[in-house]
Homo-oligomer: A and B are copies of this chain.
Amino acid sequence: MIEHVPVKGLQRSQLSKRTGCNIETIRYYENIGLMPEPPRSAKGYRLYDETHVRRLRFILRSRELGFGIDEIRGLLDLVDRKAQTCAEIQERTKPHLAEIRAKIADLRRIERLLARTLAQCSGEDVPECPVLEALAS
């Protein structure tokens, strides 16, 4: 009569399905200390609960918004300390927003250059291509 009642808790694949996170990535986040080590079943299987689902969603959402692992570690520390204030969060988020804006500006510059060069390109079978010339210059 040991463990006849199925141990409640989500296994790795269930957590993966619930969050859309790659199954290997979950273990990776555990290894680097973003996800806590979950309790284990008698046979050593990881057993997750709703707190893990929420934490993983937080991480994934932050990644989507372009935060790096270390930045997320910082945000999670604030959450865990429960001492976070709006001011602290702003302090971390504002430079991140600035970075994203810089990346956008960069890409737009590249896009303009590439589009302009392509527009000069006849698309015919001539051996002189303005794109290559732009790259070589």
Chain A residues within CB distance 8 Å of chain B:
54, 57-58, 61-62, 64-66, 75, 78-79, 82-87, 89-90, 93-94, 96-97, 100-101, 103-104, 107-108, 110-111, 113-115, 117-118, 121-132, 134-137
CB pair A114–B85 under 8 Å, yes or no, is no
Copies of this chain in its oligomeric complex: 2
A47 to chain B, nearest CB (A): 22
**Distance of A115 Cα from B61 Cα, bound (Å):** 15
B-chain residues with CB within 8 Å of residue A132 when the two chains form the complex: 75, 78-79, 84, 89
Known contacts A62-B135, A86-B123, A93-B118; 20 additional CB pairs below 8 A are A54-B136, A58-B135, A61-B135, A61-B136, A82-B127, A84-B127, A84-B132, A85-B125, A85-B126, A86-B129, A87-B123, A93-B121, A97-B111, A97-B114, A97-B115, A97-B118, A100-B110, A104-B107, A104-B108, A107-B107
